[in-house]
């Protein structure tokens, strides 16, 4: 029969809790006791592994991340920040990815099942009160990334401010007819970016024209956050003003991945940026630099790292009040608004 920590506890004349603490480097175990436990374990041919340690401590040494759509560059960058921070801890990462944004509830239900993880990181997962209650009832600490609920720790970016920053930049460049390309209606972050767009127009005394705003067509999987959706939406916007002299001279696209498709539609229409049309995106994912896209940067990697830091802290101090961190976005100037920066070798 395989050797268990119960055998080691008996051989070392200590409790199984002490064996578990010894294997995990807990400061409450003296060096003498730790050495005795290791010697017994070695004599019995036992090698500790994650699952055995977890059974003894009643936890898993796992952190679950619930992510909609693994192929998104935004989510991958957030996950990179999470994984890099966890590498410096005793926790491993398990990712629950949903095929569509609408089916994220099923992945959340799996992640909160007993024995799945010690804590949860929920990325771009809006929480109604019933889902928040589900997490609370699970007894596991959680942190939201790119979403907010008053009862749960969160790390977000100020999307409304970011939308205003993009629009103010275009206004400062002399544009009065500024288009807006959005994913499908109802996306929380993009709705706030639209609000920032309208804030900036109002500040400048520019009346918002509904004809300048276009949403992507319904997309069950990505909700419009794709190159193709951006391409179709930009093409529809340009066709709307075909043959007219009141069309947009600049466009704010609410996500970089959509902006890549939008730029193709601009080229196909025989237009050039920024000579004929300024374009600004939002996110600053890695390909944006190579596309020369002016964009509003949100610190995706840092958001993942900080959210993980919050979760690890809460695992140690579960009674602390919820903490909400809001990052400020920054404008990154590149060629699509005529102000390139040298950032590539």
Model confidence pLDDT, tens digit, residues 260-311: 999 999 999 999 999 999 999 999 999 999 999 999 999 999 999 999 999 9
Q: What is the mean pLDDT of residues 19-41?
A: 76
Those residues with Cβ within 8 angstroms of residue 343's Cβ, 6 or more apart along the chain or in another chain: 289
Task: Specify the pLDDT at position 96.
Answer: 84
344 versus 277: which is more confidently predicted?
A: 277
Question: Which residues belong to CATH 1.10.260.40 in the chain?
Answer: 5-57
Rounded to an integer, what distance in angstroms lies between the CA atom of residue 212 and that of residue 115? 51
CA-wise closest residue to 209 among 244, 165, 259? 244
Quote the percentage of the chain above a pLDDT of 70. 88
CB atoms within 10 A of CB 175: 20
Q: Is residue 22's pLDDT more than 80? A: no
pLDDT-derived band at 26, boundaries 50, 70, 90: low
218 versus 255: which is more confidently predicted?
A: 255
Task: Specify the pLDDT at position 345.
Answer: 40
Task: Specify the pLDDT at position 17.
Answer: 72
> Please, which residues bridge with residue 295 across strands?
281, 332
145 versus 117: which is more confidently predicted?
A: 145
User: What is the token pair recorded at 76?
Assistant: 């991958």
Task: Specify the pLDDT at position 197.
Answer: 98
Among the ranges 133-142, 183-192, 276-285, 320-329, which has the highest mean pLDDT value? 276-285
Rounded to an integer, what distance in angstroms lies between the CA atom of residue 180 and that of residue 194? 8
pLDDT-derived band at 57, boundaries 50, 70, 90: very low
Per-residue pLDDT tens digits for 149-201: 998 999 999 999 999 999 999 999 999 999 999 998 877 789 999 999 999 99
Cβ-defined contacts of 103-109 (< 8 Å, 24+):
104/66, 104/68, 105/131, 107/66, 108/66, 108/134, 108/135, 109/134
340 versus 335: which is more confidently predicted?
A: 335
Rounded to an integer, what distance in angstroms lies between the CA atom of residue 178 and that of residue 247? 9
Rounded to an integer, what distance in angstroms lies between the CA atom of residue 183 and that of residue 196? 15
Rounded to an integer, what distance in angstroms lies between the CA atom of residue 246 and that of residue 303? 40
Task: Specify the pLDDT at position 27.
Answer: 58
Rounded to an integer, what distance in angstroms lies between the CA atom of residue 143 and that of residue 212? 37
**pTM as predicted:** 0.78
Task: Specify the pLDDT at position 56.
Answer: 43
Task: Specify the pLDDT at position 136.
Answer: 82
Per-residue pLDDT tens digits for 80-120: 999 999 988 888 898 887 766 666 677 777 777 777 788 99
Q: Where does residue 206 fall: left (phi above 0), alpha (psi -120 to 50 degrees), or beta otherwise?
A: beta
Distance of CA 128 to the CA centre of its chain: 18
62-157+301-328 has which CATH code? Answer: 3.40.50.2300
Q: 22-36, 127-141, 155-169, 225-239: lowest mean pLDDT where?
A: 22-36
Say which CATH superfamily domain 5-57 falls into.
lambda repressor-like DNA-binding domains (1.10.260.40)
Task: Specify the pLDDT at position 52.
Answer: 47
159-299+331-337 has which CATH code? Answer: 3.40.50.2300
Q: What is the DSSP string of 300-314?
A: HHHHHHHHHHHHHHH
Q: What is the mean pLDDT of residues 231-247?
A: 94
Task: Specify the pLDDT at position 220.
Answer: 46
Question: Which residues belong to CATH 3.40.50.2300 in the chain?
Answer: 62-157+301-328, 159-299+331-337
Rounded to an integer, what distance in angstroms lies between the CA atom of residue 144 and that of residue 126? 9
């Amino acid at each position: 029969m395989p050797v268990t920590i119960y055998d080691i506890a008996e051989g070392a004349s200590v409790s199984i809790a002490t064996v578990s603490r010894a294997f995990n480097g807990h400061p409450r175990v003296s060096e003498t006791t730790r050495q005795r436990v290791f010697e017994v374990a070695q004599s019995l041919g036992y090698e500790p592994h994650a699952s055995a340690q977890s059974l003894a401590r009643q936890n898993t040494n796992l952190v679950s991340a619930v992510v909609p759509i693994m192929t998104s560059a935004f989510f991958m960058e957030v996950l990179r920040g999470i994984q890099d921070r966890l590498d410096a801890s005793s926790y491993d990462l398990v990712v629950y990815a949903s095929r569509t944004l609408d089916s994220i509830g099923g992945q959340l239900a799996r992640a909160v099942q007993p024995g799945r993880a010690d804590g949860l990181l929920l990325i771009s997962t809006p929480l109604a009160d019933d889902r928040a209650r589900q997490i609370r009832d699970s007894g596991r600490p959680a942190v939201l990334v790119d979403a907010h609920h008053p009862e749960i720790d969160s790390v977000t970016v100020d999307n409304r401010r970011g939308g205003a920053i993009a629009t103010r930049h275009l206004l400062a460049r002399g544009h009065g007819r500024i288009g807006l390309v959005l994913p499908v209606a109802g996306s929380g972050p993009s709705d706030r970016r639209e609000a920032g767009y309208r804030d900036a127009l109002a500040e400048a005394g520019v009346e918002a024209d509904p004809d300048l705003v276009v949403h992507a067509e319904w997309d069950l999987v990505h909700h419009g956050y794709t190159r193709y959706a951006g391409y179709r939406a930009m093409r529809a916007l340009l066709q709307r003003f075909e043959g007219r002299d009141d069309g947009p001279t600049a466009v704010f696209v609410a996500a970089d991945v959509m902006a890549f498709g939008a730029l193709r539609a601009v080229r196909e229409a025989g237009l050039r940026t920024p000579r004929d049309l300024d374009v600004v995106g939002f996110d600053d994912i890695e390909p944006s630099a190579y596309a020369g896209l002016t964009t509003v940067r949100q610190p995706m990697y840092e958001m993942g790292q900080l959210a993980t830091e919050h979760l690890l802290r809460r695992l140690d101090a579960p009674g602390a009040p919820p903490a909400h961190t809001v990052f400020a976005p920054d404008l990154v100037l590149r060629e699509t608004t005529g102000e390139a920066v040298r950032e590539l070798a």
